[in-house]
Amino acid sequence: MFWKFDLHTTSHIDQLLDREDVTLRELMEEDDVLQECKAQNRRLLLFLSQDHCMTELVNLITTEPPADLEEKSRFKFPNIACELLTSDVSLINDKLGGDESLLETLYHFLEQDPPLNPLLASFFSKTIGNLIARKTEQVISFLRKKDGFIDLVLKHIDASAMMDLLLRLISCVEPAPLRQEVLNWLSEEKLIQRLTELIHTGKDEERQSNASQTLCDIIRLSRDQANQMQENVEADPLLAVLESQESVAGLLKTMFEGERSEASIVNGTQVLLTLLETRRSGLEGLMDLYSQGYERSYTVNSSILHAIEPHLKDFQQLLLNPPKKSAILTTVGLLEEPLGNARLHVARLVAALLQTSAPSVCQELCKLTTMDQLLDLFFKYSWNNFLHFQVELCVASILNHSVPEERPIPGLQNHEEKPPAGPENQGEAGGEAGEPAKASDSLFQKCRLVQRILDAWEENDQIQAEGGARRGNMGHLTRMANMVVQNLEKGPVQSQISDLIKELPEDCRGHWESFVDETLRETNRRNTVELVSTHNLHSSSEDDDMESPFPNDLSLQQAFSDYQIQQMTANFVDQFGFNDEEFSEHDENINATFDRIAEINFNLDADDNSANATAFEACCKERIRQFDDAEEEEDIWEEKEINYATQTFFLLPCEGPSWTASFGEAGGNSSSPDPAGWDSPGGSGGDKQEAGWANFTEFQPFSRWELNTLHTILYTFDVSVWDIVNLSCF
């Protein structure tokens, strides 16, 4: 037995601690040192919390290891030291957070010249982050005394670990009053402005990317925490700065001043996209958002839109003259002029701006024909699905934002109120109903959306007819066509789109109608995924190949199949089993089970022309060699000692035009009385044969198939031939 063996093993660490000259390195060589530390091994914790051990642990995570060491063991001890310092043991946390000399050693790591070792930077950030969460007051007080702390962190922002450290300061400080003090301190240190300045031409791209990502994370974290805070809590100063018009304008100025680089444009646009987020993304979410009048969980601040609007022409220019990129080889061939990340981010920005339904922004985009340029790129770069998705979002936004004048537009509560778009000022005034209407007019008139869909479809059909591949934007083009049709049938601008379709040239209008009724309908049908049905599936079992004397479509075979299936149903016990009463009164209920079997009704239509009669005749005419006990061939039934020769099968007339099976003893002298209704002179069975009655004088013995079937029934219910004499119906 396993308890005979002593499975308790004493940790080797305890044996090492028994030595007076044990060193920290010897303990760190043990594989279970971290496990013992987290298990609160008191002796180990007391040893680790000694001054010289704590100093050595901190030095390990802040000092570059010797270069002459083997590569796989260079950072072994620094990694173990970091895990010990961040093991969330109160004794170690108290020692590290309460000893200012240890904090000074940690802080000295930031004073090194860049670049920092990325692995050591991660050890440092993890250790400081753990102290911020566990020893908040001591660590925050220490850092606030350091005047150059923010400068040093931003100096090393190219290391992603420094970005994590800043986010820890914003999100991991508790309680709320202390967190507010930290946010005010970071705001006073101009953290947002300094990060924004890092996104400009001439700086390292890694620094630009990390600075942009830090600003995006600060926006999301601040908004999440603002939603969770109580109303009486002071607003987040960092978020207020980020959403201010001055800050957004400064970001845009940084992006477009001087020589434009793709990195600064992309990173700056990512910050703008985060500011425009409304917590709902994706095309399906967009369609639900506007079709159901969904209220956004966050409304875009009007100051952000006011700051972006003057620079829309700069983004439009990027679509026309993007940063130069060399040709690239793709799976579909050589691409002489790639789309580029800058133009893709411009498309994302335009889609986000259209989702806000800001009247002045829609007016400016229509004036600049930005949507026309995006559609040009949509058809030019037929394999760039990232671009296709953004253009599709733009079309959906235009069609779904064109709401009637009396209906308020979700997400515009923070915008400055505009005068109602009456007949005298509708159009140039840019009312809430007028400007989206202009956007949809421009989409169908200037951008020629319907004509472009039809032309692109014909070109694709021609390419496929010549053996070419289907274009990569056809799926998005199909969805755009469906959006037009859906809004034409039922949408916020149904009448307006209908008028625009009617204004199309007669040949184009007829082509569109036939396209919708035939081509688009067939495409939608092919794109519909049908559920797999097992109705017509057939079994591959070998039993399907077995021949049967009965045709497959006869009701007798189906009835017998139903009979067999009944034994597999969930209520089999209720149908064929014994209840408590039957067990207690066995003698009186000996036939109860067989009475239930008798309820299975096998009815054979007495009509000679019926399928049942045909099946019966086919069975009777089947000539199979009889069993002869005198022959030397072994009888397969001999071992069971069942003699079927003594049994005779009768068909007794039942009520109605059907036959009922009954079994009786063989021989002419039957003790059973004649059944009622059997007309036999002299009671002998006579030779006279009336029409409609069966003649069994020349009835052949059971065939082998019939015997097998009968044996299966008997074996299933564990009865003998003699037991079923009491059956009234089979």
Task: Please report the pLDDT score of residue 710 as a whole number.
Answer: 63
Beta strand ranges found along 440-575 (DSSP E): none
Q: Is residue 495 part of a domain?
A: yes
Per-residue pLDDT at 181 exceeds 60: yes
Q: Work out the mean pLDDT of the chain and round it to a whole number.
A: 75
Task: Please report the pLDDT score of residue 603 as a whole number.
Answer: 54
Task: Please report the pLDDT score of residue 403 as a whole number.
Answer: 46
> What is the number of other CB atoms lying within 10 angstroms of the CB of residue 144?
13
Local structure of 284: helix, strand or coil: helix
Per-residue pLDDT at 610 exceeds 80: no
Per-residue pLDDT at 595 exceeds 90: no
Task: Please report the pLDDT score of residue 111 as a whole number.
Answer: 93
Question: pTM of the prediction?
Answer: 0.67
Task: Please report the pLDDT score of residue 421 as a whole number.
Answer: 38
Q: How far apart are CA 32 and CA 710, in angstroms?
A: 72
Q: Is residue 293 part of a domain?
A: no
Q: What is the 3-state secondary structure (H, E, C) of 262-283?
A: HHHHHHHHHHHHHHCCCCCCCH
Task: Please report the pLDDT score of residue 413 as a whole number.
Answer: 37
> What is the number of other CB atoms lying within 10 angstroms of the CB of residue 442?
20
Q: Is residue 455 part of a domain?
A: yes
Q: Residues near 30 by Cβ (< 8 Å), separated by ≥ 6?
A: 12, 13, 16
Closest CA to 58 of 107, 25, 91, 9: 107
Task: Please report the pLDDT score of residue 344 as a whole number.
Answer: 96
Q: Residues near 664 by Cβ (< 8 Å), separated by ≥ 6?
A: 648, 650, 670, 672, 725
pLDDT band at 621 (very low <50, low <70, confident <90, very high): low
Summarize pLDDT for 514-560 with one digit per residue, the tens. 999 999 999 999 988 755 554 555 544 444 444 444 444 455 555 55
Per-residue pLDDT at 630 exceeds 50: no
CA angle at 286 for the pair 285 and 288, rounded to the nearest 5°: 65
Q: Is residue 670 part of a domain?
A: no
Q: Mean pLDDT, to the nearest integer, of 717-725? A: 52
- Looking at per-residue pLDDT, the higher value among 372 and 680 belongs to 372
Q: How far apart are CA 131 and CA 145, in angstroms?
A: 16
pLDDT band at 672 (very low <50, low <70, confident <90, very high): very low
Closest CA to 648 of 693, 581, 615, 696: 696
Question: In this predicted structure, which of 262-271, 449-458, 561-570 has the lowest mean pLDDT?
Answer: 561-570
Task: Please report the pLDDT score of residue 131 as a whole number.
Answer: 93
Q: How far apart are CA 257 and CA 391, in angstroms?
A: 28
Summarize pLDDT for 369-394 with one digit per residue, the tens. 999 999 999 999 999 999 999 999 99
Q: Is residue 422 part of a domain?
A: yes
Let me know: does 412 contact 360? Beta carbons within 8 Å: no
Per-residue pLDDT at 656 exceeds 50: no
Q: Mean pLDDT, to the nearest integer, of 699-707? A: 57
pLDDT band at 339 (very low <50, low <70, confident <90, very high): very high
Long-range contacts of 622-629 (CB under 8 A, 24+ apart): 622/549, 622/703, 623/700, 624/703, 624/704, 626/700, 626/701, 627/701
Q: Is residue 537 part of a domain?
A: no
pLDDT band at 286 (very low <50, low <70, confident <90, very high): very low
Q: Mean pLDDT, to the nearest integer, of 151-179? A: 92
Q: Is residue 520 part of a domain?
A: yes
Task: Please report the pLDDT score of residue 299 as a whole number.
Answer: 78
pLDDT band at 696 (very low <50, low <70, confident <90, very high): low
Per-residue pLDDT at 278 exceeds 90: no
Per-residue pLDDT at 464 exceeds 80: yes
H or E stretch including 652? Answer: strand 647-653
Tokens 């207020």 sit at which residue?
240
pLDDT band at 174 (very low <50, low <70, confident <90, very high): confident
Q: Is residue 357 part of a domain?
A: no
Domain span at residue 514 reads 370-528
Q: Residues near 83 by Cβ (< 8 Å), separated by ≥ 6?
A: 34
> How many Å separate Cα 353 from the centre of its chain?
28
Per-residue pLDDT at 192 exceeds 50: yes
Per-residue pLDDT at 7 exceeds 80: no
Q: How far apart are CA 419 and CA 426, in angstroms?
A: 10
**Total domain count for the chain?**
1
Task: Please report the pLDDT score of residue 415 as a whole number.
Answer: 38
